[in-house]
Structure 1
């Protein structure tokens, strides 16, 4: 297989929403008490878990959960409910925390993200970012000057399809002008990103570890597939 294009997931692959203590410092529960370290860590996990539902939802919010990456309004609705059930009863606090989640400036690139995008693009390969997401992530790349190394962004809320639906992978490949057998999908979810294999793409799994711990995961994945 000759790789002519690399598709990258966003969250947990190229960037990660890291725990900034200042975001949670003033949060209080229904008793007016601040959250301890473990509770804060759990809040961050619930905000960033890609597929795991950690609270019980009624039918309305369950619908929003399953369609959250197709509609920004549904995304906001269900995450505010998740935060409410996670012990943040004050709407203003929940909205402030949610605002961090959907702010591209809040996301931290992995240490090897810039190098990988530059090298893959510089080698003449097509580069795509394919994400199940409900907000525009392009500013995160533009702020670091990395947008020039990405040929196309395929974001679920813009195209009306989410991974692992084969249609969204096919759309990304069509935009890049590359056949599935000549593409590599890199992502942190076996379930969602691994769906690219149904079309005949190669797939590389990376762990969505904190950025300080996963310093060369992308480089390693691409080397294992002889891309770099």
Structure 2
């Protein structure tokens, strides 16, 4: 069946959280020394990992971790704990870093994000962005004029379900007026995004690589599934 709709994951798929020196300039270790590059890199990995628990948690924070993408307050609580366990010694430092994590304007689009959204829209495809997330990502698109190409945003904290629960995919399909077999899901997690297969969707996996390294992965994914024609 021909593809008539495409669902895109957000983090690691259309956009990526990347940092420069301003992100970590204020950060120190417990001894007051600046964090080294290895520690900085590990912090970012832990903040953006799509699945998989990144630190050991007590029962209270375990509950927050498991429900973080359904409740902004729980998201804040558990990520401040993750940052504490990851070597950020003060609440004040952790809060500054966390605020950047949840600021949609801090996220960087992949080089082909605009081209793939424009191309899919021009091809007459219905487009949805489907994300396990606890903050509003729409400004990341609106600030670049990319919201014009997205028909629906389906965000876990707004709809009360998280991938790979079939309920969140069903909500997205219903909003797009599309059936599973005619929909392609594109994401960076086999575990979470691949759950779309339960509703009959095709699935394309893209690596959550740095934006400078993955320049054409989205376009290639759609072309491989016949959703876009090669130029």
Normalised TM-score (structure 1)? 0.99
Residue 218 of structure 2 corresponds to 218
- Structure 2 CA distance for aligned equivalents of residues 210 and 26 of structure 1: 23
Residue 43 of structure 1 corresponds to 43
- Structure 1 CA distance for aligned equivalents of residues 41 and 74 of structure 2: 24
Moved more, 21-30 or 61-70: 21-30
- Structure 1 CA distance for aligned equivalents of residues 54 and 154 of structure 2: 27
- Structure 1 CA distance for aligned equivalents of residues 205 and 9 of structure 2: 10
- Structure 1 CA distance for aligned equivalents of residues 39 and 222 of structure 2: 36
Residue 111 of structure 2 corresponds to 111
- Structure 1 CA distance for aligned equivalents of residues 125 and 221 of structure 2: 16
Deviations 1:129-182 (A, max 9, x none): 000000000000000000010000000000000000001101100001011111
How far 1:7 moved relative to its partner?
0.3
How far 1:122 moved relative to its partner?
1.1
- Structure 1 CA distance for aligned equivalents of residues 26 and 134 of structure 2: 27
Residue 152 of structure 1 corresponds to 152
Residue 77 of structure 1 corresponds to 77
Residue 196 of structure 1 corresponds to 196
How far 1:49 moved relative to its partner?
0.8
Alignment RMSD (CA, Å): 0.6
Normalised TM-score (structure 2)? 0.97
- Structure 1 CA distance for aligned equivalents of residues 138 and 36 of structure 2: 34
Moved more, 114-123 or 48-57: 48-57
| Equivalences, count | 228
